[in-house]
């Protein structure tokens, strides 16, 4: 069982180069039409996350910290944080 207070020590990515998980540059994203998951580097980073025992904790931390890049097996951008915040506001208002 993983320690929820120290999830990063148990992350599969702890053995990978951190640059792999960085958000795409505008040049890298050009021509992908919003399909960032198709970029080879992003696909590779997502594969690292496939069997990671702390995916959920990683994704939660990234959303709370408004991080960008690959976290918890998902590609997060400023736009994804804006969408999540908008959805949360709508759910709270309902």
What does each of the 94 residues of the chain score in pLDDT, given as a tens digit? 445 568 999 999 999 999 999 999 988 888 888 888 889 999 999 999 999 999 999 999 998 888 999 999 999 987 776 666 666 666 677 6
- 48 in Cβ contact with 74 (< 8 Å): no
Quote the pTM value. 0.78
Range of the domain at 46: 21-93
Strands 69-71 and 74-76: antiparallel
How many separate domains does the chain show? Answer: 1
Cα radius of gyration rounded to whole Å, the chain: 14
**Cα end-to-end span (Å), the chain:** 37
Whether residue 63 is contained in a domain is answered as yes
Whether residue 69 is contained in a domain is answered as yes
- 68 in Cβ contact with 23 (< 8 Å): yes
Whether residue 14 is contained in a domain is answered as no
Whether residue 31 is contained in a domain is answered as yes
């Amino acid at each position: 069982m993983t320690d929820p207070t120290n999830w990063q020590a148990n992350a599969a990515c702890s053995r990978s180069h951190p640059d792999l998980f960085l958000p795409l540059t505008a040049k890298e994203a050009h021509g992908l039409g919003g399909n960032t998951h198709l970029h080879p580097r992003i696909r590779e980073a997502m594969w690292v996350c496939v069997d990671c025992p702390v995916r959920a904790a990683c994704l939660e931390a990234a959303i709370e910290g408004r991080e960008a890049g690959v976290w918890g097996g998902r590609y997060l951008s400023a736009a994804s944080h804006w969408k999540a915040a908008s959805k949360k506001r709508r759910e709270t208002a309902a």
